[in-house]
Structure 1
Amino acid sequence: MSENIQQKIEQLRKELNQHNENYYLMDEPSISDLEFDLLLKELQDLEAKHPEFHDDNSPTVRVGGGVTKIFPTVQHQFRMYSLDNSYDYDDLADWEKRIIKTIDEPVEFVAELKYDGASISILYENGKLVQAVTRGDGFQGDEITSNVKTISDIPVKLTGDFPERFFMRGEIYLTRKNFDKINKQREEEGLDLFMNPRNTASGSLKMQDSGEVRKRRLSSVLYQFVSQEVPAESHWELLHQAHDWGFTISEQAKLCKNLDEIKEFINFWDTERHNLPFEIDGIVLKVNSLKQQRQLGYTAKSPRWAMAYKFKAEKVETELEKVTYQVGRTGAITPVANLKPVLLAGTTVKRASLHNEDIIKKLGLHEHDFVYVEKGGEIIPKIVGVNEEKRTSDSKEIEYIKNCPECGTELIKLEDQAIHFCPNDLHCPPQVVGRMIHYVSRKALNIDNLGSETIEQLYKERLIENPADFYALTKEQILPLDRMAEKSAQNIIDGIEKSKEIPFEKVLFGIGIKHVGETVAKKLVKNFNTIEDLKKATAEELCQVEDIGMKIAVSIVDFFNNPENILMLERLKSYGVQLEKGENTNEVLSNALEGKTFLFTGKLSLFTRESAEEMVEKHGGKNISAVSKNLNYLVVGEKAGSKLKKAQDIGTITILDEQEFLDLIG
């Protein structure tokens, strides 16, 4: 019986591993998500009932779901150096001359694509993935093993004849296809779009829930073997050995005998990179011989035996057809250049961001100008110049609009800001829809199944105009909407009902008071127990709350002076939405920090700034926003700058690292 169970477990693992490979590596799923989940559930149940057959490398490990609140900082056994950059062939020729001068013998090079992602160092012991650490500052990084194990093309168990202990280094990245999928989902949820695949991959690796990391479908390429003892004489040999052990290596890497072959490789990929399913920003060149690498050694920051050739940002010329204006959720007006379609960096560009009136004036834009457009890793390209020689004598300078393009209201521009605003926040259609999309978003009321398209339809049908209207919706009203089924409609109703349990601070953030973000909402709730208390507060009283200045205070007072907002809040309250503080909001765990003030600066690695400030408050301390004689403790992370220097100059402030802060609270 026991043997049969073990065989069943091993069979399920083998089958699931194959399906993972089909899905993630081949992009050709052979079964549905439901069928996959059922197989996975069967394996999870068997493993739970029979722990004697536990295996750290089971496909169930790939599922994630574990939550890591602190990523420990780990010292790299072998420093992760950065590469020197070159931008033209003269730089490469000089580099080659320095190499030949040092070693005085023939040199071969390996040319590899420079993947645009996040660097990782992975430790393997006895063929098993033991630890994964981010590059960090090159000397130390964050340990993110559980997140990396969810990436299906990184092996957790090796095959073949591999060394006992070594590190594999590589890049974790997002394919263009998966990046687009993530942004499409975020758009449906009313969230801001991610700007580029590189930053999204890097941010994904720091997500606390490894189950969410898995959903991002990250990819990897491993490009460097690192160990005291190396089982080969060249980098090229090591790459192919690593492939035999189960690592994904670059299929495009090439062994080059001289600079001419390197140039040929670079020229080819400078054009063909746009046909790749992932982003690259250059080519990495390495001396192939490991003996020669050791002879060449390192500078203070880079290996002398490697060089990165960076592609120049592409720029094209096209005609400006017209400038249109978009209205955002907060009423901010964004001008957009509509262009004659032109091919740039592998995609057809039709629009470019102009940001604000100041940019238009700086460029001196005229109607039907021929403009230079550049794309440097952003979703929307930008105009970087104008070809004035092609401008006609009767061309008129572009004048910024005076009225809102959506509702006709006269625009306003604050003295301290470069952006124009439409003040008709309660009735300007994009603002109304944007505010409701914000209300249902994950960080606010988190109402599932209510995407931006559904909200737009509800608004067009005049079923909703402010957040309180969600709670009056019926399933019968929702069902006639496009692509709406019975179950979907019921899920929306259930999600709206569940949102009544969301705490006051998230509701306050969700109702969309201008300048009241997540942090400000939390601080308001700590000082005002109910929405009624907040409504009665004067601007001067609001300014007594930490980090709230007159600008935010006036915005809050203005919000409560509007009768339409008051009516909306009364309706929300009548529907049971939480508009007062819960019992455990200000739960205090100890008085270890009582009477002490704290400020956090630099890049924190053991906790987020938000969680650190929460720890201070839960142990009786107080957070302040600036370095002054009133500050007791400054907690510093990496690359702490002016605040650290100012604290040192004052001389009476105790400076702590992150671990010393944790020691204070036990």
Structure 2
Amino acid sequence: MINKDRISALEQLIQKYQKSYYDGEAEINDAEFDLLWDELKTLDPANPLFAKVGADNTDGFPKAKHLIPMGSQEKAANPAEFRAWAVKMGLGSGDGDSAAGSGLAFIVQYKLDGASLELQYEKGKLVRAITRGDGIIGDEITANARRMAGVLPALSVPFSGGVRGEVVMSHAVWQEKYTDKANCRNAANGLMRRKDGAGCEDLNLITYDAAAEGDDAYFKDENKKIEWLKKQGFEVTVTKEFSDPEEVIKYRADVAAMREKLPVDIDGLVVKDPRTDMTDLRRTRPERQIAFKFELETAFSILRSVEWSESGATYTPIGVVDPVRIAGTTVQRANLNNPQMIRSLGLMIGSAVSVVKRGEIIPKIEGLAPDGSLAAELLPAEKTEILFPKHCTSCNTELVDGGTRLYCPNPGCPKRLHHRLEKWVSVLDIRELGEKLILQLFDKGRVRQIADFYTLEAAELAGYERMGELSAAKVVRHIRTPRSLSLAAFVAGFDLEGVGETIMDKVAAAGFDTLEKLRSAPVEELAAVYGLGEITARTIAEGLVETAEEMDRVLSGGIISITPPLPPDAAPLRGMSFCFTGELVSMKRNEAEEKIKVLGASAKSSVVKELSYLVTNDPESGSGKNVKARKLGVAIISEEQFLSLLKDPGSVSVGV
């Protein structure tokens, strides 16, 4: 069963940590972030976040465009994943095709743990230094970059193009001057974005890549590129050559064992095809290079108590353990997942436990620690039972222990109602209704159900904190904008436990494509829908009964409607698929996706071979999606053409 709440939570966490990373105050390390990313990819492979890179910065620096998109890398977390990538790329197979028959299959570099920077040169003169930003456009911090070690103001050749590197701070400098920052990377990120440039002299740029503007053949291969960087006087990340995947795996283990002794932080290796492929480098996520990350650390500790975190109607156990160091941070709180995990492991207060960082805000307790992992004298003489909460702290209703979930069953529970309001606003993407305003409206009793949003007046909102007349009028205008939602989006907005749009799309496709059909469907028929099962079916059926009055009230207001299903011969876009990139002018992206869905088409988050159209307001750009679309022969259309297609599906004739 797809856990829509978990997907939503992961989206919020990833965006939050991306922003803190690019603002220079990363709250978690790369390993933790990667696990969040990987978990979301497992739960929702088509999530729109995978088409985004970096974060938008609003710190006042001028914006500038990268010469080549500064995309993210694919990741291998263990040797098996790395071997699979090597086979997929045809590297290290011994077929004699590697690096022009030299036997060289892999270029392997330290993956520096700092802040990415692109230096742009025109005829050998440094003209711009641009941070990663969103991967396409970043902050121009040229003045600050000129103060850093390793940044060359001029080259010995009239080169026009970009040089890429990582801005790092050494352990020695951090220890001497910046221990108020969590780590070297946070310190480096903060200094490089200072408006006065103070402290940038404590930073160092270590390079790893270059590209000539307008000449994809300037660098013959990755080795020549590294040699050129060295010849110009740049410091280059440690680079090795290997012919076999097993050699790379062994090298990774050797580096991991000694990385604490290195002068700067690294968090893995970058493994590349020796042959330079500019088309691949322009992708949002290049395929012919991969980040081969270090293994996560495990620590052993003692469970001292259990606290219960409350989110909506759900209560999640959090273990408090003796402080341990994992991946460079001190850990004292660890997730215990759910009641069933506690019972299955036989956990008690005083148990010796294994703690691993697995991508949560806090680490996870993986299980009991192996015998002998902790000294006998550290173990408590007695262990005590873990007590579960019995009643909801918000409404005092007796909690239900469903094994994998401890929750409040009261449909009128204030926490549950508040969570539903936030979910509705999220599904409809009403950005003007922020969390703080929703909470104010809820606490004052003004909005307790979704339908209450549609009774708000600008005059009353103007009296709320930080609103004012103009802001209040804008909020009301956006709330009252008529919207026609698919049945899947409408039901998902009512926050039925674990039931999101993906599940409801399957239900609608199975023939339960109106609210009336859905309400009258027996549980056993819903359970027969592929991918659902009885538990989800029962959740849908019971949730529809619970929210029936509220749903009817929302629909009776006339602002929200459910788009009626089209018969097969009346769905003009049936079988087509669309991907949107960049900002739309006439509507939000989620609105555009809704429009195509009701006409029978599907929305994709990435460019794939079978895609019908890529919609962008910059069809000529060198973005990863545009490049891939042209390579695959996918039609690229503008927003104006997209709107024409909505009005008349046969009106648009485009090339690729």
Greater relative contact order (Cα < 8 A, sep 6+): 2
Normalising by structure 2, we get a TM-score of: 0.49
Greater Rg by CA: 1
